[in-house]
């Protein structure tokens, strides 16, 4: 017989969508009992301890109030790694994996140890996914936010990449002490325009505004990154940036203005133009 604190009855009585309730309850099970998610089925008569029950109620209420699942469970999968995330950083999005794929293709084509720059790293997602998938690669990751850098460093340590990924604090290229040119420069900067209604919807309400919006047209950070890229890029080097679904033409024009070549637009899984890459001439 299932009591009202059994896993089965907690799942059937919650007003959360079932898929979300299962993720959150699985998190409680792992944390309090080191049990896998399958215990939701195999041990569905199990009753939560008072402490676990209090945490479940808290987490359920937070989710009902809109808090992102990634912040509640403190992690999010990205490319082939799992990152610790907290309210000080943007929650990594699947579309940002496009930048990782662009970089990995370039690294493979270079066929030598490459050095990569990730501007505005947040949780470290782009930098660490590349370090994971391209073991010879040296990565520099910057962020203006000390809170974000602390989280990114924690992730680098956790994943064992502290020796190949270095961090620097500052706004875009100002974070770099000297202009050592890179093979590939990547960025997922804040590109949402101030006042865009998406900022007051869903997960975005809980994420750091500084990671989402430039407080202006949405293009100012993309502009700073693209127009100043030359001293930081090797001849023949590649720059790729993520942008909003309606910013592709503007970003292509910025790349043209910066005299970059082989300009390419990359689509996300939803079919939106989501990233643009360009190459510095070889001579």
Enumerate binding residues for ligand GLN (CB under 6 A). Answer: 90, 93, 188-192, 204, 212
> Nearest approach, Cβ of 75 to ligand GLN (angstroms)?
18
> Nearest approach, Cβ of 235 to ligand GLN (angstroms)?
29
CB closer to ligand GLN out of 14 and 277: 277
CB closer to ligand GLN out of 40 and 192: 192
How does DSSP classify residue 7?
H
Strand partners, 6: 47
> Nearest approach, Cβ of 91 to ligand GLN (angstroms)?
9
CB closer to ligand GLN out of 40 and 92: 92
Buried b (16+ CB within 10 A) or exposed e, 161-175: beebbebbeeebbeb
> Nearest approach, Cβ of 78 to ligand GLN (angstroms)?
13
E strand map for 106-226: 115-119, 138-143, 165-169, 182-187
CB closer to ligand GLN out of 44 and 196: 196
Tell me if 99 sits within 8 A of 275, measured CB to CB. yes
> Nearest approach, Cβ of 67 to ligand GLN (angstroms)?
16
What is the dihedral angle through the alpha carbons of 70, 71, 72, 77, rounded to the nearest 10 degrees? 30
Indicate the length of the chain as a whole number: 283
The radius of gyration of the chain from alpha carbons, rounded to an integer in Å, stands at: 21
């Amino acid at each position: 017989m299932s009591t009202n604190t059994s896993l089965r009855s907690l799942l059937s009585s919650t007003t959360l969508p079932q898929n979300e309730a299962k993720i959150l309850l699985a998190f409680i099970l792992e944390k309090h009992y080191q049990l896998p998610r399958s215990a939701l089925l195999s041990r569905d008569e199990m009753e939560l301890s008072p402490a676990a029950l209090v945490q479940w109620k808290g987490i359920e209420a937070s989710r009902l109030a809109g808090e992102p699942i990634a912040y509640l469970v403190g992690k999010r999968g990205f490319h082939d790694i799992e990152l610790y995330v907290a309210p000080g950083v943007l929650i990594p999005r699947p579309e940002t994996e496009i930048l990782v794929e662009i970089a990995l293709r370039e690294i493979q084509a270079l066929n030598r140890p490459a050095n990569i720059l990730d501007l505005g790293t947040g949780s470290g997602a782009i930098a660490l996914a590349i370090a994971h998938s391209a073991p010879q690669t040296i990565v520099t990751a910057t962020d203006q936010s000390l809170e974000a850098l602390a989280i990114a460093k924690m992730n680098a340590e956790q994943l064992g990449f502290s020796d190949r990924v270095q961090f620097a604090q500052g706004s875009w290229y100002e974070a770099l002490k000297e202009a050592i040119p890179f093979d590939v420069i990547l960025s997922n900067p804040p590109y949402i325009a101030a006042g865009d209604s998406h900022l007051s919807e869903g997960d975005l309400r809980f994420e750091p505004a500084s990671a989402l919006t430039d407080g202006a047209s949405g293009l100012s950070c993309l502009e700073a990154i693209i127009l100043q890229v030359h001293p930081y890029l090797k001849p023949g080097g590649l720059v790729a940036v993520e942008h909003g679904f309606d910013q592709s033409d503007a970003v292509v024009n910025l790349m043209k203005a910066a005299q970059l070549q082989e300009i390419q637009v990359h689509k996300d899984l939803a079919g939106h133009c989501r990233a643009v890459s360009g190459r510095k001439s070889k001579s």
